[in-house]
Amino acid sequence: MRFADIDGAPKRCTLLKIYTNQGLIGYGEVRDASSKTYALMLKSRLLGENPCNVDRIFHKIKQFGGPSRQGGGVSGVEIALWDLAGKAWGVPVWQLLGGKYRDKIRVYCDTDADGKDNDGHAMGLALKKRMGMGFTFLKMDLGIGMLLDEPGTLNAPLGFIEEMKQYAPHILNVQGGSVTADMVRKQKSYDIVTTAHPFTGIHLTEKGLDILEKYVREVREVIGYEVPLAIDHFGHVCVEDCIRFARRVEKYNIAWMEDMIPWMYTDQYRRLKEATTIPVCTGEDIYLKENFEPLVKSHAVSVIHPDILTCGGALELKKIADMADEQGVAVAIHMAESPIACMAAVHAAAAMHNVLAMELHSVDIPWWQDLVNGLPKPLVKDGYIEVPNTPGLGIESLNEELIAEKINPAIPGLWESTDDWNQEFSNDRIWS
């Protein structure tokens, strides 16, 4: 097991190789902003196993994953094992997952607008460029972050918004804002960075809702009403304010509202879904099928949005989609990763019955596809990625020179030995 941490693909990504004694190499990936320790701790559990027994190994290691980035180790190892199994048997991963429903996968890309944050016209022009590139499904960020410099738009305990700006910009949906290790180390900020949506005390005023609605209207005036448009990254506000916002923008034909509240609050999602005609979506931070089940079977969402590097990998993603299919819930795949995880998601999507589209975060990174060799160029054609018929994930090799050039300077090391993890041990049984 060897790793390479690279910058900007589109975020910090940890690429993974699993070697075999027959010379085959399986390619995997640990989700962005996740520690490779989540994968390293699994190495001793893999040694001596036949890597083609993917489901057996998954049942052995899945207890070491968890929601959000904690699932990155198990999921990354799982897709590397499928890559190995496909290469060993000479078939593509989609065939191992049961065969394919489609030959190409529709993709959409998250889009940022240049210029003023609350300029819907600028966002509309940016999305129009995506349509000109062939994309048939669009998504944009929209949230309370664009209201920070507009007086009278947000209601919160005095001084709280200023603390958010300093310690937890992600809560306000500030572009580029995220939780850092330094933030969490500071006890003062710990409560802030871990504050969930219902507990921030932040509310939208009518003026704030007016600005957000105006933004959406300006976007639609540019791109028209025929193309699907989803929205994401709203910010940490309570479900009641989410309902107020949803009712304001129903007339603009929103494809879905994503992650409006934390995924584990099933009852709040049901309240939101029942209060609006806009499809409600969540799932990128959910690990394993059983954690999707409450949302799906209680009909609290219209769309689920699993990430292959969070949910448990390719076969688990297929199982999640099958469960959603039985309940009439659509699937859109979250994907903000390198070409390795992208192609794993493509194979899983090909084997699904009910997929709407798959995300692509790297359209504006010119070297992104060059990280790997063996895929068609360009990879995305007219808003679709073709499903490969070559063994495994369809990736022949990695571009070692480019990976070395993009190595994360904060995490030096490229494919270094991981032998120190060969003897990692604990009593893994989870019952007495």
Domain boundaries, the chain: 2-91+397-421, 104-386
Is the domain 104-386 a CATH 3.40.50.2000 member? no
pLDDT at 187 (0 to 100): 46
Q: What is the pLDDT of residues 275-307, one digit of tens each?
A: 999 999 999 999 999 999 999 999 999 999 999
How many Cα atoms are found within 13 Å in the side-chain-facing hemisphere of 196?
10
Each residue's pLDDT tens digit, 159-200: 888 888 877 787 787 755 555 656 555 545 556 667 889 889
| Inter-CA distances, 414 with 1, 32, 136, 342, 391, Å | 12, 17, 38, 21, 26
Answer yes or no: is pLDDT of 17 > 70: yes
H-state helical runs in 35-92 = 37-40, 43-46, 54-61, 72-89
pLDDT at 400: 95
Query: What burial letters (b/e) apply to 286-304, b meaning 16+ CB within 10 Å?
Result: bbbbebbbebbeeebbbbb
User: What's the pLDDT tens digit per position in 105-122?
Assistant: 999 988 876 655 679 999
Which tokens hold the place of 199? Answer: 């507990």
pLDDT tens, residue by residue, 72-105:
999 999 999 999 999 999 999 999 999 999 999 9
Q: Does domain 2-91+397-421 have CATH number 3.30.390.10?
A: yes
Amino acid 49: pLDDT: 93
As a whole number of angstroms, the distance between CA 244 and CA 426 comes to 50
What is the DSSP secondary-structure string of 110-143? Answer: EE--SS-TT-HHHHHHHHHHHHHTT--SEEEE-S
As a whole number of angstroms, the distance between CA 143 and CA 64 comes to 34
Quick one: DSSP state of residue 49?
A: S
Residues 360-385 pLDDT 10s: 989 999 999 999 999 999 999 999 99
> What element of type H or E holds 242?
helix 239-249
Q: What is the pLDDT of residue 2?
A: 76
Q: Provide the pLDDT for residue 117.
A: 65
pLDDT band at 10 (very low <50, low <70, confident <90, very high): low
pLDDT band at 127 (very low <50, low <70, confident <90, very high): very high
